Amino acid sequence: MFFFKKKEIPLTEFFPEGFVDIHSHLLPGIDDGAKNLEDSIELISKMSSYGINNFITTPHVLGDIYPNSTNTILQKLEEVRAELKKRNMNTISISVAAEYMLDNEFFTRLKNNDILTLKDNYILVEMSFFNEPFNLSDILFQIQLKGYRPVLAHPERYGFYHNNFEVFYKLKKAGFLFQLNLLSLTQHYGKSVQKIANKLIAENFYDFVGTDTHHENHLKLLEKIGAKKVKEKIFHLLENNKKVFL
């Protein structure tokens, strides 16, 4: 019996030039991501060493837990940009959107046109990991009525859908775009998430990818995806990030 070693490649060869990471938590002290400004710069620097230099970072906007206003997010962005400039990290391009929880607070922001988009009319949204919003159809209708295109963050991580794969078809048909978390290709979130992620890739359901970086441990784990076979499987998604968001 022959065993073939995984053909590993450095992440600098994995990410295409111009790749844009559309999901991360790099702003200082604003959610469960970067703890402070130094932490923000260290994470960005490490990701740059992987070949990722373009960021649309997406702090959580989540009820009373992370009640980040648009102004707060923009102020934190300016802090990071100023520090990058101070350190002559001129190859880094960073802007902001947000990862919006589909809750009542989101409804209010939507009505008030208080939404930070990834670009143009694309908005990053997420659900609770415990259950689907009871009014999901109404939320989606309101999003589309406002002219936005919802990008659903990490659909593979919603365990309540794992035994009902048909729901993913319904979500796509209804108008959701899908964003894959790259770490879902490892066992970081569990084998079930990894299995669903690969099945969604096989069904060609994903539109974009994101690192969803929160801390240094995520970046260490990210190195595990550096394989030619993985790159071939999702290269069209990496390129689509660049095509749509650069």
List the pLDDT tens digit at each of the 246 positions of the chain.
333 346 789 999 999 999 999 999 999 999 999 999 999 999 999 999 999 999 999 999 999 999 999 999 999 999 999 999 999 999 999 999 999 999 989 999 999 999 999 999 999 999 999 999 999 999 999 999 999 999 999 999 999 999 999 999 999 999 999 999 999 999 999 999 999 999 999 999 999 999 999 999 999 999 999 999 999 999 999 999 999 999
Q: Is residue 36 in a domain?
A: yes
Residue in the structure block whose two tokens are 């702003």: 27
Look up the CATH number of the domain holding residue 174.
3.20.20.140
Q: Is residue 148 in a domain?
A: yes
Angle ∠(6,16,168) on CA atoms, nearest 5: 75
Q: Is residue 1 in a domain?
A: no
- 132: tokens are 């689907």
Domain count, the chain: 1
Q: Is residue 171 in a domain?
A: yes
**DSSP string across the chain:** -------B--HHHHSPTT-EE--B--STTSSSS--SHHHHHHHHHHHHHTT--EEEE--EEBTTTB---HHHHHHHHHHHHHHHHHTT-TT-EEEE--EEESSHHHHHHHHTT----SBTTEEEEE--SS---TTHHHHHHHHHHTT-EEEEE-GGG-GGGTT-THHHHHHHHHT-EEEEEGGGGTTTT-HHHHHHHHHHHHTT---EEE--B-SHHHHHHHGGG-BHHHHHHHHHHHHHHHHHH-
Q: Is residue 9 in a domain?
A: no
CA dihedral sign, ordered 137, 143, 149, 150: negative
Q: Is residue 125 in a domain?
A: yes
In one-letter notation, the amino acid at residue 244 is V
Whole-model pTM: value is 0.96
- Residue 231 domain boundaries: 14-245
